[in-house]
Structure 1
């Protein structure tokens, strides 16, 4: 009997430039750029539809074509934006890939036009997508697009050691240069290098040879050991400080 693939949640937390806040077009172009990287990982991540509607109605609104966000998506979201009384303080966009259960995936973007953090999330259980290389490349693309304060990659119900801090789970990106001497428990440390050829961040990896599972005690122990090590060195921030 084949065990079901874990539901893996990517979550990026970032701050916008309040002096030049992003527009709805910027939001959708960021999601489009992420979709372009995802479709190279799995054909099930090629087509996306507007979320928050009934399934039948959602299929009427394709989110992206080969050139970017569709005119239909833009029209629906602009009308929603016009009616939303929370705007311009908060803006939300959600899309899904049209599949249910283990083939499903969704992307959601919440932009806060305040001092509060904004959030990008992507989650999926697609088995062929959940490889070390695909997960690292997706994390790198999120970093490139949103310049986040952190990116966490973990099962939806992963239990971190510290409730007030991000968990390591499968992978955790921090905008810090970290070494194997600082995090010896990590199975890999992936450097993130900017256009200036200097490292500005690190993806900490707990498992490299299979998808991380919160049902595997060995996986959870590695991640927890990394979290404790980071906190001991004051390298894992509190959410309230981000």
Structure 2
């Protein structure tokens, strides 16, 4: 299951690598509580075995080894406008996951983005865990939406090319009601720090894990996308 979104950072200069990594650490800390161990995450290297020799995070934040590795990478290919940091959980094939954060300054035309890409991670196949992750991501990033779907959905099954797909779940900064989206079997309110409603998680399949192999799952997600687009509630990538 993949969780991703683009966003505009609004920053005028890049933070330190430590501060940049700290945002991924915040996500990793949450993932640790749902069964994806903090100590599994490792920074990049030339081989998987070499990557596993270093840990990216500990309970206090990004590790000195990870910061040093990314410093060396940046020296080799410096940029003042954007930076991409990624960590891997050390597992190949099923159970594998990658956290990626591209950070771009406000004057750069490129958008910032966050991605959690995974394959066969059981913790990411539970609805309650995904809802918890979405709420945490909204505390860290100014996400204009958050889409959750298996990898093939966005490229092969979504209705629109210039809109995010609903897939399994889609967070929108809109207060949606069942009357607006009757095709959605579940709408989960999202609250801000003052306990006021700030958005909605639209869920296409409430009682099982979404699968593109299930035609009914895809049919429901597509119907929700069309309904949202008809009401101009589905954002366009080109407008972000």
Report what 1:112 is aligned to: 104
Contact 2:191–2:199 (Cα < 8 Å) also in 1: yes
Alpha-carbon distance between aligned partners in 2 of 1:212 and 1:10, rounded to the nearest angstrom? 13
Which structure 2 residues correspond to residues 1-242 of structure 1 after superposition, within 5 A? 8-19=1-12, 21-44=14-37, 46-51=39-44, 53-85=46-78, 87-113=79-105, 114-124=108-118, 125-158=120-153, 159-242=157-240
Q: Deviations over 1:9-44 (max 9, x none)?
A: 110222112346544223211100100111111145
For the residues of structure 2 that align with 1:10 and 1:229, how far apart are their CA atoms? 22
Give the CA RMSD over aligned residues: 1.6
- Please say if residues 102 and 127 of structure 1, whose CA atoms lie closer than 8 Å, have aligned partners that are also in contact: no
The structure 1 segments of at least 4 consecutive aligned residues displaced by more than 3 Å after TM superposition are: 19-23, 43-46
Please state how far the C-alpha of 1:239 moved relative to its aligned partner. Answer: 0.6
Q: Structure 1 unaligned runs (5+)?
A: 1-7
The answer as to whether partners of 2:39 and 2:57 remain within 8 angstroms in 1 is no
- Tell me the TM-score normalized by structure 2: 0.92
In 1: Cα distance, 2:15 partner to 2:178 partner? 37
Contact 1:52 1:94 in 2 (8 A): no
Which runs of 5 or more residues in structure 2 are unaligned? Answer: none
Spell out, residue by residue over 1:28-72, the C-alpha distance to the aligned partner (whole angstroms, 9 max, x if none): 111001001111111456520113531121012210011110001
> 1:112-170: per-residue Cα shift (whole Å, max 9, x none)?
12243211100222124411101111111111111201111001010200111110000
Q: Secondary structure at the match of 1:200?
A: strand
How many residues align structurally? 234
